[in-house]
A = this chain, B = another copy of it.
Amino acid sequence: MRTSIATVCLSGTLDEKLAAASAAGFDGVEIFEPDLVASPLSPEHIRARAEELGLTLDLYQPFRDFEGVGPELLEQNLRRAAAKFALMNRLGIQTMLLCSNVASARSGDEQLAAAQLRQLGDLAQRFGVRVAYEALAWGRFVDGYETAARIVRIADHPAIGLCLDSFHILSKGHSPEAIETIPAEKIFFVQMADAPLLTMDVLSWSRHHRVFPGEGGFDLGRFMAHLIRTGYDGPVSLEIFNDTFRQTDPVATAIDGRRSLRWLEHEAAAALGRGAGGRAARMPTAPLPRVEPPTDVNYVELRTTELPDLRRLLGQLGFRSHGSHRTKTVELWSQGAARVVLGPPDSDRARPTVAGLGFSVRDPATAVSRAEELFAPAVPRQEGSGDEPLVGVGTPDGSEVFFGADAGDEPRWVGEFGHPPDGAADLIERVDHINLAQPWQHFDAAVLFFLSVLDLRAQPTVEVAAPVGLVRSQVLRSDDGVVRIALNLVPSGAADDAILPQHIAFATGDVLALARAARDRGFRPLDIPANYYDDIEARHLIEPELLAELRELNVMYDRDESGEFLHFYTHPIGTVFLEVVERRHGYAGYGAVNAPVRLAAQYQHRLATREEARA
């Protein structure tokens, strides 16, 4: 599959955009006209620069408001087109995108439109170029790809074909199935865009909220499968208008985009596999290595300057120290199958506090090679001789994901630390979920990263009110629930990452017993206000004894259709805190209804701590 990206997806100058697309390994780019117009580089210079960077210039876009007009305006439009075709000759671009008329069309007559496209085709041929006609979702008369395909068929001109854009098709709820009826040689270009499923006017939706394939709610695998069945072998290009991408590092965005196309191929292969009865088709690219989902959260690595506080806290929760690693400056704490690797921050502080996540998989080498195919940078683990080989990759926020071999009860690398003292019964059983705050710059990329690398499913997003703004939260989980990662989008105004700490939630079968045991070890949980308990008393029929115990232990409560959720929080230590949760009878959520109270309590705690520091 030839990959391409429109320059409008990326921030910066045209030169910076080309460099970013090249760095991310795209085969080509679409030149978005406003980027060219604003560039001090001449068309010849841009052409040379792209060649130097190993990029083809696949499309010049957009040309607007051409067809369905009266004769006088047609004359002007052809003059305008000739100027752009001449420019394309200077750039060495073969294909121009023509959007269906939005502003100046006076007629929806398909014969008229086709005749005018034929004139445009004649002109294009004189310049040795061709025109890809695209139905905009908000076109005046032409707003569906089937109409555009009909007009192109009537025009019947070798220089007039179609551009298919997944957003314009799926945003209108049009079925992509009829794509298979279009002759491959008439599909001149394909643009792939995803988007969250919003209910708003399609123009604003398109201009602000497009995301890379896999980051939104469209079924693009199916779309792509229909396309593959036509035999189309031209570029598959990303045209993503996104307010965030316009502001953020273009190389990071381009890598995110490149990953999305690799993931899309994988999804398309799956859709082709499902599509029995469809036309026979061959995936143009090898599928991703097949990886079974992780069998376990192997460990969580925390890097912090507040080691003594975190050690004390882990001890209070019943974790036992295995001591230090035999060669590295990290230590291991465990309880049940929950393992916390603890160490000081990296010297360059490149990783966030939750600096690493380890997963047990059946075949670590394959898991890593799949991640690398998804453009995740490999991270070498510094190994002492005889250390268990762990292989890993970097994530968009700088943290690392490692894959270790599933070794039954205990990973072999645990033996690289000392032995823990024998202790009381392990009330904590394992990691329940991992809550990672993501800066707004990386949020969508992080969703796609974890989704594709760990093969997780995205749950519906929820929004949680914090005293400093709304937090958008997106849970990704494996089908069996072993891996659950909640990504939280930090409000853009939050100047300081302590405002939205990361956290690790541990699962227990008896949160009340654990809370009591922790209290006996000196633990002080996050204070939950009395008003909260009055409110849950008003909302739920709840045993008075249980309610009294929740109040006393600062344990929070939620219910869903199937069961109950009891959980408590520690105070934040630096930019991280811990949670202990008990899921009764298959409760499936994360206590989102309690999150605002927790966020307010943490905010209150910060205020108090600051005031103490001042006093």
> Quick check: B600 and A13 within 8 Å, CB to CB?
yes
Chain B residue contacts of A601, Cβ below 8 A: 38, 40
Q: Is B13 in contact with A470, judged by CB distance below 8 angstroms?
A: no
* A604 contacts B by Cβ under 8 Å: yes
Interface string of A70-109 (1 = CB under 8 A from B): 0000001001100110010000000000000000000000
In Å, the complex CA distance between A204 and B39 comes to 38
B604 adjacent to A13 (CB under 8 Å):
yes
Contacts of A542 in B (CB 8 A): none
* Pair A13/B469 contact, Cβ less than 8 Å: no
A25 interfacial by beta-carbon distance below 8 Å: no
Query: Which residues of chain B are within 8 angstroms of A248 by Cβ–Cβ distance?
Result: 493
Asked if residues A247 and B491 are in contact (CB atoms below 8 Å), the reply is yes
Q: In the complex, which residues of chain B have a beta carbon less than 8 angstroms from the beta carbon of A527? A: 40
Contact B83 A534 (CB under 8 A): yes
Q: Contact partner of A37 among B79, B441, B532, CB < 8 A?
A: B532
Q: Is A425 an interface residue (CB 8 A)?
A: no
Contacts of A305 in B (CB 8 A): none
Query: CB within 8 A of A11: which of B201, B207, B247, B467?
Result: B467
**In residues 26-63 of chain A, which contact B (Cβ within 8 Å)?**
33-34, 36-43
The answer to whether A468 has its CB under 8 Å from any CB of chain B is yes
A 173-198 binary contact with B (CB < 8 Å = 1; else 0): 00000000000000000000000001
Q: Are A493 and B441 in contact (CB under 8 A)?
A: yes
Chain A positions 225-255 with a Cβ under 8 Å from a chain B Cβ: 243-244, 246-248
- Output the least CB separation between A249 and chain B (Å): 10
Q: Which of B243, B468, B604 contacts A470 (CB 8 A)?
A: B243
The 6 closest A-B pairs by CB, nearest first: A200-B200, A83-B538, A38-B600, A199-B201, A247-B493, A247-B469
Return 29 A-B CB contacts under 8 Å, by A number: A11-B467, A11-B469, A12-B467, A13-B467, A13-B603, A13-B604, A33-B535, A37-B535, A38-B597, A38-B601, A39-B529, A40-B601, A41-B529, A42-B530, A42-B531, A79-B538, A80-B539, A83-B537, A84-B538, A87-B534, A87-B538, A198-B200, A198-B201, A200-B200, A207-B463, A243-B469, A243-B470, A247-B492, A441-B493
